[in-house]
């Protein structure tokens, strides 16, 4: 039996506390960022829907502004999902190297598409008579 006047915890009290040292209620500081990011994603989804009703092509006098603004908001949302829900914000170099390579590859594909759009092939070697 443990001495009630000693400062050392009894074995029953020590075994009741979790081994990781967190008490009840300390999980909220782990959950709070996920709730905030989820709320931000919800707000930016509402913003995206709202922006879809605005004709930015007419406002800026340029073609494709709605798409550019929509893709900018979507890119921000993808970064939030990747950083928080996919835990990329705390990853080491093993995951960043393939992601950087993928980004470079996708950028190259977009540049090829842009080059084909700027300088299209109007005819083929095949002609019909």
Give the per-residue pLDDT at 9: 55
Q: Where are the domains of the chain?
A: 31-86, 91-120
Tokens of 27: 């999980």
Burial per residue of 3-28, b for 16 or more beta-carbon CB atoms within 10 angstroms, e otherwise: eeeeeeeeeeeeeeeeeeeeeeeeee
pTM for this prediction? 0.56
Burial per residue of 96-128, b for 16 or more beta-carbon CB atoms within 10 angstroms, e otherwise: eeeeeeeeeeeeeeeeeeeeeeeeeeeeeeeee
Give the per-residue pLDDT at 73: 95
All residue ranges of the chain with pLDDT < 70 are 1-25, 124-129
Percent of the chain at pLDDT exceeding 70: 76
DSSP type of residue 82: I
Tokens of 94: 């093993």
């Amino acid at each position: 039996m443990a001495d009630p006047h000693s400062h050392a915890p009894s074995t029953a009290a020590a075994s009741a506390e979790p081994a990781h040292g967190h008490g009840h209620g300390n999980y909220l500081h782990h959950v709070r960022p996920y709730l905030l990011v989820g709320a931000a994603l919800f707000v930016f989804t509402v913003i995206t829907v709202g922006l879809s009703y605005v004709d930015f092509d007419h406002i800026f006098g340029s073609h494709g502004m709605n798409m550019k603004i929509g893709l900018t908001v979507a890119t921000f949302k993808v970064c939030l999902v990747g950083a928080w829900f996919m835990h990329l914000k705390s990853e080491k170099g093993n995951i960043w190297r393939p992601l950087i390579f993928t980004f470079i590859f996708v950028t190259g594909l977009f540049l090829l598409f842009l080059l084909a759009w700027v300088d299209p092939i109007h005819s083929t070697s095949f002609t019909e008579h």
